[in-house]
Amino acid sequence: MRQYDAYLATGVGSPVWETTTMPGAGPHYNAYFTGGVCAPLREALVSTAQGYEFTGADGQVMTMELVNWSGAANLPLPTNATFSVGTASVTETITGLNATRTVEYSADATNSDIYHVTESTMTVTAPTTTTATGNASGYSFTITDGAVTAVQQVFANALHSYSHTVPASPTATFSVEGTAVTEISIHGNMVETVQFVQPGGSTLYAVASDSKAYIQPGTATTLLSVDAADRAHFTFDSAGHVTQVQSVSLTGQTGTVVPNSYVTYAQLEPGFVQETTTIGTRSSYEVFHDANGDGIYTEVAHGLGSTVDLVGLKAQLAQIPASLDALV
C-alpha cells in the first residue's frame, strides 16, 4: 500500500486533507476541502441512476446535487471553488494554499441531466519532502537501466529514519524521465497517473501531481472494475471448458481452488472467463481477462445476476492506455 499525503489547506487554522492510495486495489480517498464549508471530494459515480446534477444561470453553477436511487441530496459548494460550464460538461476548480484540484464532469450518455466525474487532477504548488515540523517524508526509487525496480517510502527525523518497501502492483507501470518518475496504474474503472519529482536539495521524491481518469461505460450494462488482487490461472480442455482453477497472489504464488456445487466457470471467448456463484435463487458473477496471453487472468468486472455484456465490457477495456493494456 502506498500513502500519498497531499495538503490543500484553504486558510489559516483550517484543516488539511490527506489521501490514501492503494495501487492495484483501488483508491481510498478521504479528502476534504475547507474554506468556510467542508465538502467531500466528488466520487466517480458512473451509472445512469447515480451521479451529479447542476443548476445555474448565465453559465454559472448555483447548486449541485448528489443523485442516486433513493433521491437527491444537496452538496454545499466549497467557498474556494469555481465552476465553468461547457457543452455537456462542467469543470470545478478548487484552489488551496498548497495545491489545486480540477474536477471534470461530463453528461451521461443516456441521461443528459446526470453528470459523472470523468477526470480529477490534483497539482501540488511546490512539491516538498519536508513536513511542517521539519521531518523528512517521501519516496525513494531503485532505478536500474532506466527502469524502476523497487519503491520505498521513507520517514526520518533528527533521531531516527524508517523506510519500507512498497509492494509492486501487477497493474502499474513506471517511467523515468530525468529527475521525474511517473506511475500509471488502473484500479476499478480509474486510470491513475502520479508524477513524482525530486525537490532541489532532497534525495527523496515528492508527489507533484495525481490525475485520475475514469473510463465511462457508455451504454454498457457490465461495468469495468479492475481488481489486481483477484487473479487466477485457468486450465481448459480441448472443447474450451474450464477443468481447473488456481488463484494467483500478487507475488505470483498459486493455489488450487477446490471445486464446489455453487460456483461454475465458463470461457466466454478466448481471454475471458466468467465465474458465476449461485446460492438459492441469487446469482453473482466475476469476469476475468488475460490480455497478454500469459495465462494469468485478472478480474475486470463483477455484478449481480449471471448475464455479462461482453461487448460493452470490451469497449471499456479498449479505453485502457496502451502502457497498461497488457497488464489487465
pLDDT in tens, 169-182: 889 999 999 999 99
Asked whether the beta carbons of 104 and 89 are under 8 A apart, the reply is yes
Residue 36 gets the label, from left (phi > 0), alpha (psi -120 to 50) or beta, of left
Q: pLDDT band for position 205 (50/70/90)?
A: very high
At residue 14, does pLDDT exceed 50?
Answer: no
Task: With a cut of 80, say whether residue 230 has pLDDT above it.
Answer: yes
- Dihedral sign of CA atoms 200, 204, 209, 215 in order: positive
The pLDDT of residue 3:
36
With a cut of 70, say whether residue 11 has pLDDT above it. no
3 state SS of 310: helix
In the predicted structure, residue 38 carries a pLDDT above the cut 90: no
Taking the domains of the chain in order of start, what are their residue ranges? 18-124, 136-214, 227-325
Residue written as grid cell 502499474: 172
Q: How confident is the model at residue 20 (pLDDT cuts 50, 70, 90)?
A: very low
> What is the reported pLDDT for 165?
94
The confidence score (pLDDT) of residue 109 equals 84
pLDDT confidence of residue 48:
52
Which residues have a Cβ under 8 Å from the Cβ of 66 and sit 6 or more positions away? 52, 72, 73, 75
> How many helices (DSSP H) and strands (DSSP E) are in the chain?
2, 25
- Asked if pLDDT for residue 305 goes beyond 50, the answer is yes
Higher pLDDT, 20 or 67: 67
pLDDT digits (tens, 9 = 90+) for 239-286: 999 999 999 998 889 999 998 999 999 999 999 999 999 999 999 999
